[in-house]
Structures are given as C-alpha cells and as structure tokens.
Structure 1
C-alpha cells in the first residue's frame, strides 16, 4: 500500500533514531492527499524566524543582531542608490555573472528583512518595501524572466540560490506585494519552476543527482514557502514529502532513487555522492530541517514530534564526535577546509540548530541538548557570537540557556569515545585532553574534494591524513586554512606520498575545471565526468575500515591511486587530461588511551620515485616558544639537526601549553625540520584574500627505501620525556606483533588488548588469534572475560572467522551476529558481516 506522510513519520519514529528505514517502505513514498495548511501561520512563522518577534527583539541579547540587520540593509541601500546602467547594486554588473545576479537578489532580501524586523530602525518602512518590490520586478524583466537566456554559470545559482532569496523576500513582503504587484508571486514561482532544470516538470526529481541531501532540503523548503504564498496545499504537501526523504537513513544495500547522500546508521554524512561532508553540507541540512520544523509549527502540515528524535541522533552520533572544544574537525569539510572562516564559525551554526532543537525536545533529551550548548560555550577557545545566528529568536533562546543555572555544562560525548565512521571512511578518537581525527578513502569514498577553485592542493587529504587536536589550544593556530597554506600538501600529518610536484587544476587547464564537451565523457563544469575525475575522485582500493571495541579503535587502509589514474591508463580519458599516480602501501592506526600507534608496510612506488611518510606536521606562530627534544635509538643525545635514527621525539609549544611525543617503534632515519614558512592564503583557494601568512612549521618525515618499506611509531599526546623513554624498554606499553602487507598488529600490555588488521584472504595467527582475513579485530582480556570485536573493512564479506586458539570459551554477551562454537580445544567465532557496511560486532567470552 502507499505510505502517507504521517505513516512515514511514524515509521521514522518507530524504527529508531538512526535505524535504516525499510527499503520496501521507502520505495512507496509518493504523492498523497493534500493536507490542509494554515498559510497565515506558516508565513508568520517564517517571518519570525528571520526577523524575530517584538518579544525576542526587545531582549538586550538580540540588540547586536538588530544592529547588524540594519547596518547591512543601509549598506545595500547606498549601493542601490549609486548603481549604474546594467546594475541594480553598484559594483554588481548583470547579464553574464550569475554570482552577481544571485548577490543582487540576496541584497534585496536583506533590505526587505530590515523592514520587517520588529524594533529595528527600518521596521515598517513601506517606501523601502516598494523599492525592493520594484527591484524584483526590474530583475525579472531584464535578467531573470527570459529562461532561454538564463541558466549560465553554476546550476546552484538558478535552482537554489536565487530561489532561496526570492522566496524569503516574497514571504517578508507578502502584504505589500499583494497590494502593489499582485501578479508578482505567480510570475516568480513560474520562473523558479522553469529554472528547476534538473527537476521533473518544474518540480523536484528524486532520481536526480542534483536533488539530494542538503540541496534537496533547500529546494523543498523554498517550495514550501512558495506554496504558502500561492495558498497551494498540494505544492506544500508534495514539497514536504520530498523533504521527508532526507530523514530516512541511507541503506547502502537498498538505495532509494540511487541516492547515497544523507545520514548513515553509523552517523556518517555524505554529500556529492561520495564526499564526507558533515561539517559543511551536513550543517546546511541540519539548519534547513530545523527551519522547516519551525516554519511548520502549528500549521497542521507535519507532526514534528516524530522527527525530533531523528535530528537528535544526528547531533549526538553525527556531529558531536566531530566537534572538539567548539571546533569542527577538518576531515568532514570537503573543499571548505580552504576557506578562512571554518572551524569555530562552523560550530556556531550547529549550536543554533541545537538551541532550536532543544526547544522542540522534552525531558532528559532537552536537558542534554541544553547542557551540550553550555559545554561547547565553556570549552571553545573562540567566543561564540550569537549575532551570527540566523534567527533573533534563537539568540534569545540561547541566552536563556546560558542564564539557566539549573542547566550544567555537559558533553554528550562520553569522556572516552572511539567512533568508526566507516560509511564515510573516517575515524574520530577522543580522550580527556585530546582528539584524533583520521581521513581514509576507498572505491566508495572520495580521496578529497576540489571544486570552484577551492582546496587547490588536496591530493593526499584522504590518504591517511590525520589531525591531533589538543585540549586548551586555539585550533585556528593549529589547523584551519593556515595549516593547509603553510604545510606542504605532500607532508600533511600522516600521509605517505611520492616525492614529486603536482599542478593545481587551474594551473593545468587555465580554468577551475577540465573542459572537453566533445569527448564521449562530455566534460563540462558540472558533468558527472567532472565529478568523477576532477572534483571528488574516489580511490581504487576496496579495503578501508576497521573495528571499535568499547572506546578503542583499529583502522586499516590500502593506499591506491584514484580512478582518474586507472582510467587514464586504460585509455578512457582524453589525451590532455592529467592524472597522477600514488604510492602503494598498507597502513594501520590503533587508537588506544595514551597513544595512537601507526604502522606502515609494503611501501613501494610503481614509478620508482622516492617516498616519504609524514609522521606529523604542526604549525605555530613565529613568536611562539617552540622546542624540540629527542634521543637516538642507542641512547645518545640528539643534536636537533638533520636526520637520525631517533628513539623518541618531543615537540613543545610553551606559549600555547601543548606538547606531543613521538615514539619510534622501528629503526629508520627520521628527518626533523622547524622552518619559517610564508605563503598566501590564496594558494589553497582562489577566492581567499591574498594575505601572507607566516608560520613556524614543524615536520617529521621518514624517507622510505628498499630497506625501510615498513615503519612503526606512536603519537603520544601531552607526553613527557620519561614516558617516551618507556616505549623503548623491553616492558614498554606497546609491542608491534606484525607489520607487513598481509597483517599489521599490536599488543598493549597494560590494557590487555590485542588489535590486528588483516589485509589478505589467508589465515593469520596473531597472539593466540587466527584471523581469516580480510578483517579488523580487537580483543581485550580482563580477569576471566575476553571481549572480541570484528569488522569487515572491505564491506563485501558475508562471514568473518576468528579462532581463539587453545582456549574453550563460552559466549556470555554480545551481538547476535557472532556465533560461537568449539573444536579441538579452540573457540571459533563466526561473524555474520553480510550487508553490515563495516559495522563492528562483539562477543564477550568467559573461560
């Protein structure tokens, strides 16, 4: 039977917070009978969201926001007054630039907003409202209404950007438009429908690769507003049903409309089909769905109560692990890593959504969200400016939370947490004092994202690049755009790369993309071929994933070239298309309490180039008091210059109160550098200001040769020299059990833990465990209990076998997917990994 909107909502609620919706149910989503909507309430809600109410705007906390709204409006009024021919606003010539047209519509909205903001100096100014309406008419007549001439540049401008500004402006000026230009709404809606070129008959097309995730939420929110303006319940209902699909958890084995964009069961978020994007598009989706809940509140159009738990789970399992002391981690920002305003600013938008979400939650859920808001505020190294919130009402709610002494500051993350976002090839490992974030890639997930001249040198960001965030640090001084601008793209922390020079896309082709429309693959700016080979290429390796056990993690990855290199060798790509070949290796990361152990094996380069592994790269202000100390493997003093066989190394930034230790668990020459580097922020993004940044760049590199194809080391946050010396002792905390292309494994004696990544299909014996690979396994023994966690990092195995040799153990707890049997004094674990998509399964054994 067909599933109604309310049935879909109830299914979402009943299926759990991030459970995978049944494919049979999702396949039946379709048009339903229109609901009766209170259009007046919907329009009033929308105006209140963006302009506030008399009550919210009377609050002193909101004054800065009101001033910002007025200041922005007056800026654009001046630009409106001084415009020349071919401009609506001075400096924005129209006719060929879609960004200028989009900006013109945005500035009309910003003026209109000031005229509807209670308590603002321009509130109720009908003269300005008439000027905005005149501007809308003029733009439509000269630059927008002719759809045959329009739709140049970026598709987003025409299908989302302009429609967003126009729809909100028309809502704000609904009464004035009805009086002065009664046909304007219908005229604009017809044009907006016509510009929905990637849609279907002027409406959303759920089968379109453009109408997914955050983009779908934007389009459907616009259409909800348009439906209210037209008093068209059918339009609202259809838009709402389309938007509700973003709440359904992505089941990679039963894709709906072929869409991989959205939230996954493990908390991952993907946009652009294969890009880990929680920190950018994920934020946009979170913001948009919260605005939808507020827009529809009390209108009769939706039962928001059943959607709120879904969004709560997005926050707790999707966003919270990725936010460290108010900073959004680099691994989920896509091309946005190259922008100057990421990190703390990203989290401010998340906080606004959480503030609003807490208002729709109740009981312990609401308390936890409010406490988390306070926790972010109290731990962030940058002051969160509520004037950056979209809604004055959210600012008032935020102030109420901060002022409520009954709400303690509390993290929704456990103090110790290890999260395998295997659906997007990322890991986050958290402990009191630090967080570790790892970026992997595969034939499922892109190595990086480059687009529109953003993130110009991204080549190795998904090849095991990692980021060690230290508590109390201002992360803008440690990471963000300045990290990518000053650290060599070939020496990002954690990457194993060939020694060569690569060229950016604009350098290669003279434009921000590769163009060859006449080729059978049809390379144009937004073609699928552009996405596949230029903007966000995937790897060619199927092995990328790992297991988690309690708060411990193991991850493994096979390094590979991307699909562009593979297909260039196969003669699929044009002769002038440039592709780069990567180094081959297997890599593992074992995430424990006091250290992260990194193993590298089988390092070879098919092209015979020299290869290096960057153990770490850290930046500091030139004036920071940075010192580096170390000891040679034989116990001799390290002079601090050149290359040596180091046993350990310790980096200290006394100015910032941070320290990181490096314990080298294998013998090899280590090159340490501390250089002053000055580069423009524009080297990573063409739209960045040409601002020169100088940083003290600390680098630790290991060069590989035929004799050093393997490497083992531990990152030790906040390490002292005494602790680092302990790693070289016979009874040191970490033992490397295996480090070759077939298996990489470690033991931590103090934790009673053994962890292994097996890369081949042969059985491998590791510390009393026989693992039929490929697999990732963690086993921990405490007293008479042994707990084993198993994951399939290839995501295509149906069954993984692990044998505990020489011990007869009984399963006393764990997942149903783990079957336990006995033979010849051994204990056999058979783990059903069929369609598990990298999830970990555990069994606790006694014996």
Structure 2
C-alpha cells in the first residue's frame, strides 16, 4: 500500500462515514472503492481466521489428524444430507430457536469445507448447503426485525459468532444478498453503538466477544470501518481496574461485578484476545494498545496461579461449577490452549516460559489427558501442544512453590511440594456465590471459607461429580448456619455480598496469614475465621461464632469425596491416602461416612467422608482450632498431635487471632481490631506476618485487608539493629529494643502485602 503506516489504514477505515478524501484520490472514497482498497488485507484476515480458529500447523495425512478430519467430513455429510429446512427448523430434530446445536452443525459443515483432508474440502455443494442453512436461520430466527427473547447473550454473542464464523469460512458461496442480510441482522442486535460505552454487559469477556462479532462482520463484508471499531473498542479491556469487571494488579479477574472468574469468562477473554492478536498481526488493524501488555502479564499473574496440574480451580469458575463433571479440567485446557496461541504474539522470553508451563500442566494432568482433549476439540491446539511435548529443548516446568493472595477477589492459593490449597471467601465486594440461568442454585456456602486442597493423586477430588453429590451445607473449611436455604437464595449473578470488609491477609510470597470476617448468607451467623498457611500444614482458627437462627452452626473440617478408611483419636484423625487432622484442644470431632446421589437426568452416586465440629444451636462466641495436614501419613499425623507446641495459638478471639510456629520462626496475627499478641501490636485492624529465617534477619509483612487505613503503627517487641529493606509506604521506623513501623496510604494499595526486612539486634 505504498508504504502507508498501519495508523493510516485505521484512519482510512473511518472515511466512508465521514465522507473524507484519501490523499491522491480524485474525490470522496465510496464503499466500493474503499472495499477494493482493502480487499487484499481482508483476504488475508479471512485466511488467518480459518488457520487460527479451524486449525493449522499439522499434516492432514498424518494421524491423528487424518482420522479426525475424515470424521469431521463424514459428520458434515450426514448433516448436509439430513437438512430439511421448514418454518420451524433447519433439521427436524433441532426445532427453533436452537441457539446452539443448529449453528454448531452449520459451523461443522463450514469447517469440513475449509479444512484439508475431510473428503469435502472445497466442495461447492457443501458450501451451498451451509449458505442455505445460514440464510434460512437468519430468516426464521435471527431476522433484523426479530424480537430479542430470553438471554441477551444468545442474540448478541452466541448466535452471531457462530453464524458469522460459518459464513466467513465458506467465503463467496454466501451470495452478496445473503451476506448483506446477515450483516443487517447482526447490526440490528449488535449495533455499533453497543461498543460506545464500557458498561453493563459490554465489559470484560463480553466486550471481547462483542468485538469478535464486529470483526467477523467486517470480514464478511470487507468493511474497514467496522474492523477499526472492533479493534479500538478493545482498549477499555486492557488497563488494570480498581473496581468492577476486569484485571486487578493482584491477579484477580472479576466478571459480573462480584464474581472471581478466571475459570470461565476470563478463559473466554484470554482465548478471544489470543485469537484476535494472531488474526490481526501484520494487518492494518494490528493491536498495539500500550495497555495490552496487561493481557500478556495476566497469563502468569492471573491465570497460572489458579491452574494446578492442568485444571482450573473451581473457586474462580462462578456458576459454571455446576455444569458438568471435569469442567475444571476442561477450563484448564482452554487456558493452556489460549496461552500457547497468545505465545505466538508474545516476546521470546514469555513464549519460552509459557511453553514450559503448559508442558508441565499437560504431563501432570493424568485425570483428563490434555493432548486427548486437544485432539477432540481443537486440532490447532493439538498441533501446538504436540510440538511442545516433542521438543526436548522445552523443559516441563514444575508446579511453583509459594503463596498467592488475591485480596481483591477474596481468593488465596498456597503451593508447597506435593500439595496445593485454594481458599474461597466472600466480602463486601465479592459474593458468597453466583447463580443464574437456573445454574448453581445450591452453591450458597462456597464463599464461607471453603478450603480446597489437593495432594498427589487428587486431581479429580472436586471434578468427578463433586458438586451434584456433595452436601451443600457441608463444604470443606466452611462455617455455616444449618438453616435451610431455598434454591437460588439471594440475588442472582453473584450479588450476594456480605457486609464484612476485613477479608484478605498478609503474605511474604512463601507463607501467609489470611482472614475472613464472615457473615452467613441469609443468616444471623457471624464468625471470625483465620488460616495460617505453612510448609506441611494449614492452621485453621475460628472465633466469635455467634448465631440467632435457632439451628446448629457447624465448621466443616473436611468433606472428602472418597471411600477411604478414617481413623479418629482424641486429638487427631487420619484419612488413608489423603491426609491428617490435628485438634490441639481435643474438641469432639463428629464424622459421617455416606454415599450421596445426585438428582436430574444423569444421576451419580459418590462416597464421602465428612468431619465437622458442632458449635450447637445459637452459639455465642464459639471457637475452634485445628490443623489440616494435606498428604500426611498416619505416623506424621500422630507425631504432630503429640507435639502441641509445634503451633502455638497465642490468641483466638473476635479482636485478634494469632499463631506462633517456633520451628519456622513465624508469628502471624490477624488484628480484627487494634491490639497486641505474640510481641506484636497494631494501632488499627490489619494483618501482620513476621518470619525469622535464622540468619540474623527477619521480615515483617503488613497488609490492610479493609483497605481503609491512612496511617498504621505496628510494633514488634524484638531487638532490631537496623532496617535493611524498607518500603515506600513506611513513614517512619524506630529500631532498638523494639521495632516500631509507621505506614501510610495503605488504603490505596488494594489489600496488598508490604514486606520490610530488618537485621536483628
């Protein structure tokens, strides 16, 4: 194009509407002239779309591609032969509106036309059948004058994406009149003004999907103005946010205002952006927003922390946990696929790290092998993953070790060699749970301190029909009123936030003290819950457990989907093949072994072992202490129970909760109010974690979980010689017989942790 810059092309994209003149032309540029000017670029976009979304990078004559492509061709032929368009259907067994299955059949036929080796590659009869099916569906269901009934998503994202995808894949076989009519229908349901405001249902993953629809529409009609709009409308997605939907600096990703969602909407957003980066690269509309690096950073900052051995933790999957068994593995594989695809647009260093990370995930996911998933759903992903697995120069990255606290989404992930834990809480900004569209109506207590954990070999613990069969009042780690709740209790779409603001904690990246001021869902129950995450244990504390519901309140020590043997003694319990539990105070542990069955069209039965503490009816300031030992042997559990000084509980009250672990040099305090414990004092509510590694230094980590402190004073009554590494928020430090730290502006730090390193006196 004569050396014109990409930005020049973007400016040209808006000239039709503005009636402007292209330099060197005789007058205003009309639609036909502008279409011709960009014809080559759109031809490349359509080719790239086919390569990226339908699949490329493999030999169609080699297995497993040959068999998969042949099967796709056979399926497309059956669909073609069974078509019988009538007023109420395209296929008689798929009556309208058939928002998904009819369109998936048309798209499968279009892919059989576009991909090599299907036996129908380039078959004009097949393409004509796809075009006829698209136009028939457009006339009967998706007409420009149709009324949008039901879920808006089908009309604005689901249906147009599938129709336009199929239309772009068959290219000129959709007549000019048919493509114009389809464009007009999409314009009716997704007008360009839909992208004018970044609000409502046009945020986060939804905004990316709407931009994909706009770009597909641009490709259908070679419309540079729509292409420019599709790209420019992505800009609000990229920057970090401080509230509402989007990426947060601490790795949180929120959708629907109140729901941590890396494992559904976030995965869709990552997939959509990876596709757009790949398709648009080298075109006049290549994405070069300076904030787009946030998306690349999110792979390791937002997504990797919630993927364990190839599956995505349920605590960031919203209402989607209730959909189907092993959905956590499916979402983890989707994140892996998007990561490899996005890597093609990333820096060499990012690409190398991501390939190693995905290789590790794929090798460790033995419950649902990732390569098998790729072969079944995405041949392009299969080709990329196969190349990574076969490349000896790519190491398989191990699971990282450390703690990630995502305070803005009330989530925490703790990883140690051989085990991993995830914590799901609710706060004044994060809902107890999400239900909607009839999904997840009994997820009430997932935000009441649910503690997920996986030791080696437990990759399917919450995957294999856990959600339809588990007792929803006894989710592991939670403290709940047993008051019966209606299905779908509370507002829909995650708007179930309790009033508690002290939710979060302090972490030095290795260990953590995390807390939740818990208010029960549709309940008078209140509790103060803390977790101290260590090398081989989680110390769990509860205090101030109070309720007036007229029913018992319980803390669920665990609820494992297993039939394993359970041994219980006065101060400990051990579940064979899983781990141990220590109750330092000898609180009476109640247990039950049961087989639970799900309801619905696909009933399932699963065995459970449940351990819980009964706080009685309407408790007043009840409490608990127990240690969770993931993966521990029977001997290790017994030994830990015989050593009551290993973890010393210094305080367990509604004012503060504190634990000291001498062997690790750790003192952890969650200050629910100003107070003192374990040689530490604070002038206001906060979380403090002190660690003495034994080399003459110590770290003091401080956080403001409530996000409201303008100033804070923390004193550690321990001789300190000097501050080695301070922090910009430290307004003053006094050393000597004790360390006194003054900190300011914590309210602006979104609950983040701040670590100061000192040399001991």
The two structures share one fold, judged by TM-score above 0.5: yes
Secondary structure of 2:708's counterpart equals: coil
The Cα of 1:140 is off from its aligned counterpart by 2.3
CA distance in 1: counterparts of 2:641 and 2:142, whole angstroms: 70
Match of 1:121 in 2: 119
CA distance in 2: counterparts of 1:316 and 1:559, whole angstroms: 30
1:152 to 149, 152, 177: 149
Match of 2:532 in 1: 590
1:489 to 469, 472, 479: 472
Match of 1:249 in 2: 240
CA distance in 1: counterparts of 2:469 and 2:77, whole angstroms: 38
* Counterparts in 2 of 1:78 and 1:709: CA distance versus 1, 3 Å: farther
Match of 1:686 in 2: none
* Corresponding position: 1:797 with 2:697: no
The Cα of 1:313 is off from its aligned counterpart by 2.0
* Corresponding position: 1:696 with 2:604: no
Question: Per-residue displacement from partner, 1:661-704 (whole Å, max 9, x unpaired)?
Answer: 00112342210111222233x3xxxxxxx222222210001111
* Corresponding position: 1:815 with 2:727: yes
CA distance in 2: counterparts of 1:55 and 1:821, whole angstroms: 62
Secondary structure of 2:561's counterpart equals: strand
The Cα of 1:298 is off from its aligned counterpart by 2.2
* Corresponding position: 1:759 with 2:759: no
Match of 1:276 in 2: 260
1:594-673 equivalences in 2 (<5 Å): 594-620=536-562, 626-632=564-570, 647-652=571-576, 658-673=577-592
The Cα of 1:190 is off from its aligned counterpart by 2.0
Conservation of the 8 A alpha-carbon contact between 1:53 and 1:118: no
2:384 to 397, 403, 408: 397
* Corresponding position: 1:827 with 2:739: yes
* Corresponding position: 1:173 with 2:170: yes
Match of 2:249 in 1: 265
Conservation of the 8 A alpha-carbon contact between 2:720 and 2:758: no
Conservation of the 8 A alpha-carbon contact between 1:54 and 1:119: no
1:183 to 174, 177, 192: 177
CA distance in 2: counterparts of 1:433 and 1:188, whole angstroms: 54
The Cα of 1:50 is off from its aligned counterpart by 2.9
* Corresponding position: 1:716 with 2:629: yes
Match of 1:73 in 2: 76
The Cα of 1:299 is off from its aligned counterpart by 1.4
Conservation of the 8 A alpha-carbon contact between 1:799 and 1:831: yes
Match of 2:107 in 1: 109
Conservation of the 8 A alpha-carbon contact between 2:144 and 2:189: no
* Corresponding position: 1:548 with 2:507: yes
The Cα of 1:288 is off from its aligned counterpart by 0.4
The Cα of 1:392 is off from its aligned counterpart by 3.1
CA distance in 1: counterparts of 2:720 and 2:560, whole angstroms: 48
The Cα of 1:312 is off from its aligned counterpart by 3.5
The Cα of 1:737 is off from its aligned counterpart by 0.8
Conservation of the 8 A alpha-carbon contact between 2:557 and 2:612: yes
The Cα of 1:769 is off from its aligned counterpart by 1.0
Secondary structure of 2:748's counterpart equals: coil
Conservation of the 8 A alpha-carbon contact between 2:480 and 2:520: no
Match of 2:315 in 1: 331
CA RMSD in angstroms comes to 2.7
* Counterparts in 2 of 1:270 and 1:439: CA distance versus 1, 3 Å: same
The Cα of 1:135 is off from its aligned counterpart by 1.8
* Counterparts in 2 of 1:797 and 1:138: CA distance versus 1, 3 Å: same
CA distance in 1: counterparts of 2:226 and 2:144, whole angstroms: 24
Conservation of the 8 A alpha-carbon contact between 2:241 and 2:247: yes
The Cα of 1:211 is off from its aligned counterpart by 0.4
CA distance in 1: counterparts of 2:540 and 2:412, whole angstroms: 14
Secondary structure of 1:493's counterpart equals: coil
* Corresponding position: 1:421 with 2:406: yes
Match of 1:503 in 2: 486
CA distance in 1: counterparts of 2:352 and 2:669, whole angstroms: 40
* Counterparts in 2 of 1:130 and 1:731: CA distance versus 1, 3 Å: closer
* Corresponding position: 1:383 with 2:369: yes
The Cα of 1:266 is off from its aligned counterpart by 0.9
CA distance in 2: counterparts of 1:406 and 1:305, whole angstroms: 33
1:240 to 225, 231, 240: 231
Match of 1:641 in 2: none
CA distance in 1: counterparts of 2:263 and 2:201, whole angstroms: 19
Question: Per-residue displacement from partner, 1:813-834 (whole Å, max 9, x unpaired)?
Answer: 1422234422884322122313
CA distance in 1: counterparts of 2:82 and 2:661, whole angstroms: 65
2:305 to 317, 321, 345: 321
The Cα of 1:841 is off from its aligned counterpart by 0.5
The TM-score with structure 2 as length reference comes to: 0.90
* Counterparts in 2 of 1:707 and 1:844: CA distance versus 1, 3 Å: same
Can you give the 5+ residue segments of structure 1 that lack an aligned partner in the other structure? 10-32, 253-259, 509-529, 563-579, 633-646, 653-657, 683-689
* Counterparts in 2 of 1:804 and 1:742: CA distance versus 1, 3 Å: same
CA distance in 2: counterparts of 1:207 and 1:303, whole angstroms: 18
* Corresponding position: 1:41 with 2:35: no
* Counterparts in 2 of 1:437 and 1:119: CA distance versus 1, 3 Å: same
* Counterparts in 2 of 1:234 and 1:56: CA distance versus 1, 3 Å: farther
The Cα of 1:48 is off from its aligned counterpart by 1.5
The Cα of 1:500 is off from its aligned counterpart by 2.6
CA distance in 2: counterparts of 1:498 and 1:794, whole angstroms: 25
* Counterparts in 2 of 1:806 and 1:398: CA distance versus 1, 3 Å: closer
1:297-308 equivalences in 2 (<5 Å): 297-303=281-287
Q: Higher mean Cα deviation, 279-288 or 824-833?
A: 824-833
* Corresponding position: 1:407 with 2:366: no
Match of 2:26 in 1: none
Conservation of the 8 A alpha-carbon contact between 1:6 and 1:303: no
The Cα of 1:303 is off from its aligned counterpart by 4.8
* Counterparts in 2 of 1:159 and 1:303: CA distance versus 1, 3 Å: closer
Secondary structure of 1:830's counterpart equals: strand
* Corresponding position: 1:480 with 2:463: yes
Conservation of the 8 A alpha-carbon contact between 1:769 and 1:804: yes
Conservation of the 8 A alpha-carbon contact between 2:481 and 2:549: no
Match of 1:558 in 2: 517
* Counterparts in 2 of 1:74 and 1:443: CA distance versus 1, 3 Å: farther
Match of 1:208 in 2: 199
The TM-score with structure 1 as length reference comes to: 0.81
Q: Higher mean Cα deviation, 51-60 or 790-799?
A: 51-60
CA distance in 2: counterparts of 1:719 and 1:106, whole angstroms: 48
The Cα of 1:128 is off from its aligned counterpart by 1.6
CA distance in 1: counterparts of 2:134 and 2:602, whole angstroms: 37
* Counterparts in 2 of 1:89 and 1:796: CA distance versus 1, 3 Å: farther
Question: Per-residue displacement from partner, 1:623-671 (whole Å, max 9, x unpaired)?
Answer: x5x2111321xxxxxxxxxxxxxx000001xxxxx22100112342210
* Counterparts in 2 of 1:677 and 1:138: CA distance versus 1, 3 Å: closer
Conservation of the 8 A alpha-carbon contact between 1:585 and 1:604: yes
Secondary structure of 1:43's counterpart equals: helix
Match of 2:332 in 1: 347
CA distance in 1: counterparts of 2:180 and 2:722, whole angstroms: 70
Match of 2:700 in 1: 788
* Corresponding position: 1:57 with 2:60: yes
Can you give the 5+ residue segments of structure 2 that lack an aligned partner in the other structure? 11-33
The Cα of 1:606 is off from its aligned counterpart by 2.4
